[in-house]
Structure 1
Amino acid sequence: MPQYLSLQTFSDQRGNLTVIERILPFDIKRIFYIYGVDASVRGNHRHHRTIQAAVCLVGSCRIVCKSGPGKTEEAYQLQTPADCIILHPEDWHYMDSFSPDAILMVLASEYFDANDYIFEPYAS
């Protein structure tokens, strides 16, 4: 089941500083960004091993997850750089509703491996 984290943010007259430290349930092996997205839906998969943390650095997007057969889909709106969703391997997910300026950063527990992806959605 996905976890929502509110990342620690320090704000003053100079601006904001958001920290990702000692809060993720994995060591980071891969970082990637999704941006310049049109009305497309991204994702549509789950993993065998990979845990991911998603943060929308700029703009906003929605992540919809389902954690197993017969489970209800849950939607998470990422609207600030302090919003973080942890996606576990069993969390079949997709991302949509990207604002035109959205930059979604994803931190992953594993290096890319095409064999780690499961594209078949759970049965309803």
Structure 2
Amino acid sequence: MPQLVYRSALENPDLAWLEERWHTSVQRSFMIYNVPQNAVRGGHSHRHCQMALVCLVGSVDVYVQTPAQDFTYSLRSPEHFLLLEPQDWRLMYNFSPDAVLLVLADRSYHSTVYIDSAYRPVPIGQKREEHLSVLVS
């Protein structure tokens, strides 16, 4: 199940605090930026890989499906990390023009371990009230 973790700007800026809460270590990182208007990223889950998402600049919305529930997160601060389990199917969308999304993973890249199928139809573009929504500001 996705988990939102808050990191105070006063805390140590290294990744040790995240690894303590995440109970794993960062093996890979990448950034998503210069996303065209109305484009989406993600659209998959993983067999084994856990990920942490943080929007360093700008904002991005993240829609997450677990086997049991749907969630929507709005990441607008580098103090909020969204932790995703391997089974959390995710879709990032509604990137602001200046958005920079940092993605931290506990495993190296392997394209064969992606699961593209969502658990249910994806309600992006439908009324937000139809699924659980979490706003982070």
Q: Same fold by TM (over 0.5)?
A: yes
- Decide whether the 8 Å contact of 1:48 with 1:117 is kept in 2: yes
1:14 corresponds to: none
How far 1:89 moved relative to its partner?
0.3
2:25 corresponds to: 27
Is residue 62 of structure 2 the alignment partner of residue 59 of structure 1?
A: no
- For 1:2-61, what per-residue CA distance to the aligned partner results, in whole angstroms no more than 9, with x for missing partners? 0000113129xxxxx745323332111100000001120110000000000000000010
TM normalised by structure 2 equals 0.80
- Decide whether the 8 Å contact of 1:41 with 1:96 is kept in 2: yes
1:106-121 pair list within 5 angstroms: 106-121=103-118
Note closer, same or farther for the CA distance 1:62–1:76 as it changes in structure 2 (3 Å cut). same
Percent identity at matched positions? 34
Aligned partner letter, 2:99 = A
- Decide whether the 8 Å contact of 1:65 with 1:93 is kept in 2: yes
2:10 counterpart SS class:
strand
Aligned partner letter, 1:56 = C
1:1-124 pair list within 5 angstroms: 1-10=1-10, 18-24=13-19, 25=22, 26-38=24-36, 39-68=38-67, 71-123=68-120
Following TM superposition, the consecutive aligned residue runs of length 4 or more in structure 1 with deviations greater than 4 angstroms are none
1:33 counterpart SS class:
strand
Q: CA RMSD in A?
A: 1.6
User: Structure 1: 5+ residue runs without aligned partners?
Assistant: 12-16
- Decide whether the 8 Å contact of 1:46 with 1:91 is kept in 2: yes
More helix by share: 2
User: Structure 2: 5+ residue runs without aligned partners?
Assistant: 122-137
TM normalised by structure 1 equals 0.87
Aligned partner letter, 1:110 = R
Number of aligned residue pairs: give it: 117
